[in-house]
Amino acid sequence: MKLLTVAILCIITGNGAFAQSPDLAQIPDLVETWRQIVAFYPRHEAGDGEMRTRELIRQRLALLGVTTVERGFADFDGAHSFSRVIEATFPGMRRDRLVIAVPLNHQYGAERDRDGAIGLAAALQLAAVLAGNPPPVTVSLLFLGAEREPLPGYPLGSRLYVAGLVADRPTAVLYLDLQRPGDPLVLDTAARAAVAPAWLLQTLGAALDATGVDFDAQPIRSQIRRIGLARDPAIAPFLQADTAAIGIRSESRPGERPAELTLQPVEALLDGLERLIAGFTDGIPTGWDRHYVFFQFGNRIYVLGEQLYLMIFLGLIAAVLFYALAFRHRAERYARTMLRNIWSVPAVYLLLFVLLLAATAAIERFLDLRSYPGLWRHQPLLFFCVKLSMTVFLFSLSMLPLRRTLLASTSSFYSASALVVLFVGIATLAVVHISFSYYFLWAFLWAFLFAVVPKRALKVVCLAVAPLPLLYGAWFVYTSGEYSTGRILLLSPIGGNLLFALLMLPFLLMLLRLDFLVRHPRLGRRSFVLQLTASVAALCTAGLGLAIVQYQPYGEHAPQPITLRETISLIDNSRRLDVRSNGKPLQSVPLRIGERTVIWSGSPLELPFDDQRPPLTIERRSSAFLERNRLQYTVSSATELYTVEVEILSTDSLLLYDANLPVSMGAGGQQATVFVGVLPPDPFTIDVTVPDLVRGNLLLRATSRRLSEDVVVTRPDLRIEATELLIRAQDDL
């Protein structure tokens, strides 16, 4: 009996020992973890550095007593990667789920100080906190492979997770993408036709503000992404799957370095995330307002929901109507003037469109003369200011003879027509996308004040303040690299200029109204405001135009980047080398290849092909059984392959019984695409089983970031930015 009692006590004691919380003193701190992961550089997708990082994550989570689940891409539809996805779950008091996602690898060729190691270290540090303090909601740490490459279908890791996500509970996602310590933090809140819920933005913003984290929520970029004019962020797969998500990423421009390399901002961010998690005591909200407008002042986020925004809009309209009732005779005079001269509004709009078209043609002609259509991308704000000032100059010059002859001669007409144009803009955008209408709503408010205030100085102030949100939006677009949006207003001849004319029209109508009110200093002369505006716009156009003419983006001080592309065809045993550049056209480029020097003169160079040392070999083995033919192609390469594309073409209908990689059948049933993925192992095998009577070919297209031999450009004003080797090969089925 005593022996049995002792045994029971030992079991209880042992269970208690096993149930103890992990010893957090054994867990390295943020700095040490960051240094360990940095040592694994480079962490290319499916590379040795990423595999060592995955092993570190497994060991660290095992030390915390946390089990992990791993997923691969073997059964993924439409893509493949040799990378993996790791998920660690920390059960909370509620089933509601907060997912914190972190990319495992960095983009191929990324600099060592932008390798994203700090993001992984922060996630592991957060794991140690969660293991010692159970959260109010279930938290999943998601380490995503195959996220970074600028290729179609990416980010694959996020898509893989979303494809297996079961919507059985309220879920929110925070995507943590920190590339370098000390970089400014940016919040990604929208993707194409999708936006993060307002409550998540406000909750996260409040948590970061409370812990002293500086961030930029970029409200304008969020709007641009909603209409699909900007590249989707990493959170796009989550938002498009109706999962609440916000991205937290570091952002810096190439060549810029933080004043001091410090982890203090990351530590403050971790405090903010802990505060955010602790705030979900009532669970994760399920509401989702998709039509809100938000503003940022400092670190404070202010959100105007759809209902509040509509109340403000209706309140403003009610105020205008009340004014019209209170000053009935004045409102009736405005209405009569509008009805009598309504044709003047489309006339002015058409004239403005023609002038913008002329300004666009002038810019395009200048780019043609410089033989560099992409020159505007180097100084987009400068080109935009040239177009704007040129249009204002031409408009003011055109209005001098037209204002008192062909167009309306009643000054109040222009105030009233500006209000009508802005009201139509508000109503239209409220139907299309309400978040964009606040630009017109702001302008409508100041246009209304412009119409009612009696003093000319106050009217000038109203005219100056009315377009400020639009000007700030233009400044952001042309200084933040949003080239797709910037090109619309700058170079789109029809659609862009029609939009630009609509944006400028109400303010130019207000300018015409002001011209009636301000007397010319000299007796007997008119249109002082138009003359002054034309003079200032002419000076601005001349000065900015001179700056553009003298601007040289490249030279010995800033060598022009070029890309060398080598193509080797193992089908016809040919080898070519070409030079490409997104900059100004190149006439001749001297290149030193090994021991010889050649001149590239605009067309690909034919280089000798060494069939004794091919860059890639394919070994084919086949075995037949039960009227089936199993084909195994072992691909070996003398250089590291970046991407591999494989197509199987058959002369007859193609049937694939089995394959070791994901496959997509093409139209007509005679073509199949085998998805290999980025940075495959060397060697790798393509294993397919087809009917034994099938005849056809296997076509392989592989790329590498390294040329088959060293190439040096000898011009000091050029630099090699990238190299690409393209290999084409073929084998029989």
pLDDT tens by residue, 636-677: 998 999 999 999 998 888 888 889 999 988 877 788 999 999
Count the neighbouring beta carbons within 10 Å of the beta carbon of residue 644. 24
Look at residues 260, 245, 109, 124 and name the one whose alpha carbon lies nearest to residue 180.
260
With a CB cutoff of 8 Å and minimum separation 6, the contacts of 729 are 570, 571, 616, 618, 699, 700, 702
pLDDT class of 539 with cuts at 50, 70, 90: very high
pLDDT reading at 258 higher than 70: no
Query: Average pLDDT for residues 606-629, to the nearest whole number?
Result: 87
Annotated domain spans of the chain: 32-252+260-304, 308-550, 558-733
pLDDT of residue 311: 85
What is the distance between the alpha carbons of residues 58 and 68, in angstroms, rounded to a whole number?
7
**What whole-number distance in Å separates Cα of residue 462 and Cα of residue 385?**
22
Q: Which residue has the tokens 């893509």?
A: 79
The lowest-confidence range among 271-275, 311-315, 418-422 is: 311-315
The alpha carbon dihedral of 135, 138, 139, 143 has a sign of: positive
Architecture of domain 558-733: Sandwich (2.60)
User: In percent, how much of the chain has pLDDT > 70?
Assistant: 93
Q: Is the pLDDT at 17 greater than 50, yes or no? A: no
For domain 32-252+260-304, say whether CATH 3.40.630.10 is its number.
yes
What whole-number distance in Å separates Cα of residue 540 and Cα of residue 543?
Answer: 5
> Does residue 279 sit in helix, strand or coil?
coil
* Residues composing the chain: 733
Q: What is the DSSP letter of 670?
A: S
- pLDDT at position 637 is 92
Torsion angle in degrees (nearest 10) through CA of 31, 36, 37, 38: 80
Q: DSSP strand E in 554-606: where?
A: 560-569, 574-580, 589-593, 596-600, 605-606
pLDDT band of 322, cuts 50, 70, 90: confident
Question: What does the alpha-carbon distance between residue 538 and residue 20 come to, in Å, rounded to a whole number?
Answer: 78
- For residues 159, 164, 166, 169, the Cα torsion angle rounded to the nearest 10 degrees is -60
Give per-residue pLDDT as tens, 348-359: 899 999 999 999
**Strands of 671-678's sheet in order across:** 605-606, 574-580, 560-569, 718-732, 696-704, 643-650, 671-678, 663-665
pLDDT value for 120 = 96
**Among residues of the chain, what percentage have pLDDT more than 90?**
57
**How far apart are the two ends of the chain, measured CA to CA in Å?**
76
Average pLDDT over residues 414-427: 86
Query: Per-residue b/e over 296-335, b at no fewer than 16 CB within 10 Å?
Result: beebebebbeeeebeeebeebeeebeeeeeeeeeebeebe
